Structure 1
Amino acid sequence: MQGRTIQQILITVGLTLCNITDGFIFGQMSGMLDALTRDDASVKLTVGEISLIAAIINVTCICGFAVVGVATEIFGRRRAISIITSPVILCWIVVYFVEDKTTLLLTRVLVGVSYGGILIISKVSIGEYITPKKRSLYVNVIASGGQLMGTTLGHLLSLAMNWRNVALIGLVPTALSCILPFFWVESPSWLASKGRYEECERAFRALHVLDEDSEKELRLLIALEKRKESVVNVDRSYMAPIKKIIKASRQKYFWKVILLSIIINVYRIAAGRVLFSTLALSIFRDFTGYSNLWGITLLVDGLGIFGALNSCILVSVFNKLRTLIFVFGSLGNFILMFLSGVCYFTENKSEDNTIVWVKASLLALYFLFVNSGAYPVLETLLSEIYPLEAKTFCIFIVGAIAGVLQFLTIKSAPEMFKNIGYDGTFFLFSVIIFMCIAYLWKFMPETKGETLQDIEMFFKADYLPSEEHKEDTVCDSMINKEFMPSVDFKQEDK
Structure 2
Amino acid sequence: MFYKALAIAGLNAVSLSNGFLFGHVAGLIGSLQKKEEGIDLSEGQISLIASTLTMTALIGIGLAAYVTDKIGRRWSVIIFSTPIIIQWIILYVSYNMFLFMLSRVIAGIAAGGLIALTIFVPAEYTSPKTRAFYLNMVTTVAPAIGTSLGHSIGIVLQWRTVALIGIIPAILAVVIPFFWVESPHWLASKGRFEECEIAFRQLHGNKLNSERELQMIVKMEKTKLKLANETNCKPTLKRLFAAFKRKYFWRLILMSIFMHAYLTAAGKLVFSTLATVILEEITGTSDVLMYTLLVDGFIIVGSCMSCYLIRKTSMRTLLFSVGFFANAVLVVLSACLYFKNGQNYFNWINVVLLALYFISINAGPYPLLEAIFSEMFPLELKVYTFSLSGIILVSSLASTIMLLPLMVSSMGYHGLFLLNAAIMSISLGYIWFRLPETKGRTLQEIEMYFKTNNFDVEEMLSTEQSKALM
For the residue of structure 1 that corresponds to 2:364, the secondary structure is: helix
Aligned to 1:166: 162
Aligned to 2:134: 138
Aligned to 1:380: 371
Aligned to 1:325: 319
Q: Deviation digits for residues 334-355 of structure 1, max 9, x if unmatched?
A: 0001100100111xx23x1101
- Superposed counterparts of 1:235-250, under 5 Å: 240-250=235-245
Say if 2:267 is the partner of 1:272: yes
Structure 2 distance, partners of 1:423, 1:404, is: 24
Structure 2 distance, partners of 1:68, 1:418, is: 37
- Tell me the CA shift for residue 402 of structure 1: 1.0
Aligned to 1:87: 83
- Tell me the CA shift for residue 234 of structure 1: 7.7
Structure 1 distance, partners of 2:338, 2:88, is: 40
Aligned to 1:491: none
Query: Which TM-score applies when normalising by structure 1?
Result: 0.91
For the residue of structure 2 that corresponds to 1:186, the secondary structure is: coil
- Tell me the CA shift for residue 250 of structure 1: 1.4
Say if 2:403 is the partner of 1:417: no
Is the 1:43–1:101 Cα contact (8 Å) retained in structure 2? no
Give the percent of matched residue pairs that are identical in Structure 1 and Structure 2: 39
Q: Deviation digits for residues 407-431 of structure 1, max 9, x if unmatched?
A: 1111000111122111011111111
Structure 1 distance, partners of 2:230, 2:178, is: 30
Say if 2:349 is the partner of 1:358: yes
Say if 2:58 is the partner of 1:62: yes
For the residue of structure 2 that corresponds to 1:123, the secondary structure is: helix
Is the 2:213–2:442 Cα contact (8 Å) retained in structure 1? yes
Structure 1 residue ranges without an equivalent (≥5): 465-469, 479-494
Is the 1:267–1:433 Cα contact (8 Å) retained in structure 2? yes
Structure 2 distance, partners of 1:234, 1:65, is: 31
For the residue of structure 2 that corresponds to 1:446, the secondary structure is: coil
Say if 2:429 is the partner of 1:435: no
Aligned to 1:310: 305
Is the 1:20–1:173 Cα contact (8 Å) retained in structure 2? yes
- Tell me the CA shift for residue 477 of structure 1: 5.8
Q: What is the number of residues matched between the two proteins?
A: 465
Say if 2:417 is the partner of 1:426: yes
- Tell me the CA shift for residue 473 of structure 1: 2.6
Aligned to 2:467: none
Among 99, 115, 129, the residue aligned to 1:103: 99
Is the 1:42–1:99 Cα contact (8 Å) retained in structure 2? no
Structure 2 distance, partners of 1:67, 1:221, is: 26
Among 240, 254, 258, the residue aligned to 2:249: 254
Aligned to 1:117: 113
Code of the aligned partner of 1:458: Y
Aligned to 1:403: 394
Structure 2 residue ranges without an equivalent (≥5): 465-470
Structure 2 distance, partners of 1:476, 1:62, is: 40
For the residue of structure 2 that corresponds to 1:133, the secondary structure is: coil
Structure 1 distance, partners of 2:393, 2:119, is: 15
- Tell me the CA shift for residue 290 of structure 1: 4.6
Distance 1:177 1:303, change over 3 A: same
Is the 2:27–2:159 Cα contact (8 Å) retained in structure 1? yes
Structure 1 distance, partners of 2:240, 2:194, is: 25
For the residue of structure 1 that corresponds to 2:206, the secondary structure is: coil
Distance 1:474 1:434, change over 3 A: same
Structure 1 distance, partners of 2:235, 2:366, is: 35
- Tell me the CA shift for residue 299 of structure 1: 0.8
Say if 2:29 is the partner of 1:33: yes
Q: Deviation digits for residues 333-378 of structure 1, max 9, x if unmatched?
A: 10001100100111xx23x110110000000000001101111211
Say if 2:220 is the partner of 1:224: yes
Is the 2:322–2:363 Cα contact (8 Å) retained in structure 1? yes
Structure 2 distance, partners of 1:371, 1:409, is: 20
Distance 1:236 1:20, change over 3 A: farther
Structure 1 distance, partners of 2:80, 2:463, is: 39
Structure 1 distance, partners of 2:137, 2:19, is: 13
Query: Which TM-score applies when normalising by structure 2?
Result: 0.96
Structure 2 distance, partners of 1:158, 1:85, is: 22
Code of the aligned partner of 1:29: V
Code of the aligned partner of 1:473: E
Is the 1:216–1:475 Cα contact (8 Å) retained in structure 2? no
Say if 2:206 is the partner of 1:210: yes
Is the 1:261–1:382 Cα contact (8 Å) retained in structure 2? yes
Report the more deviating stretch, 282-291 or 381-390. Answer: 282-291
Structure 1 distance, partners of 2:27, 2:286, is: 16
Among 151, 154, 159, the residue aligned to 2:147: 151
Structure 1 distance, partners of 2:287, 2:160, is: 23
Distance 1:394 1:388, change over 3 A: same
For the residue of structure 1 that corresponds to 2:34, the secondary structure is: coil
Structure 1 distance, partners of 2:95, 2:295, is: 32
- Tell me the CA shift for residue 147 of structure 1: 0.6
For the residue of structure 2 that corresponds to 1:455, the secondary structure is: helix
Runs of 4+ residues over 3 Å off in structure 1: 39-42, 234-237, 289-292, 474-478
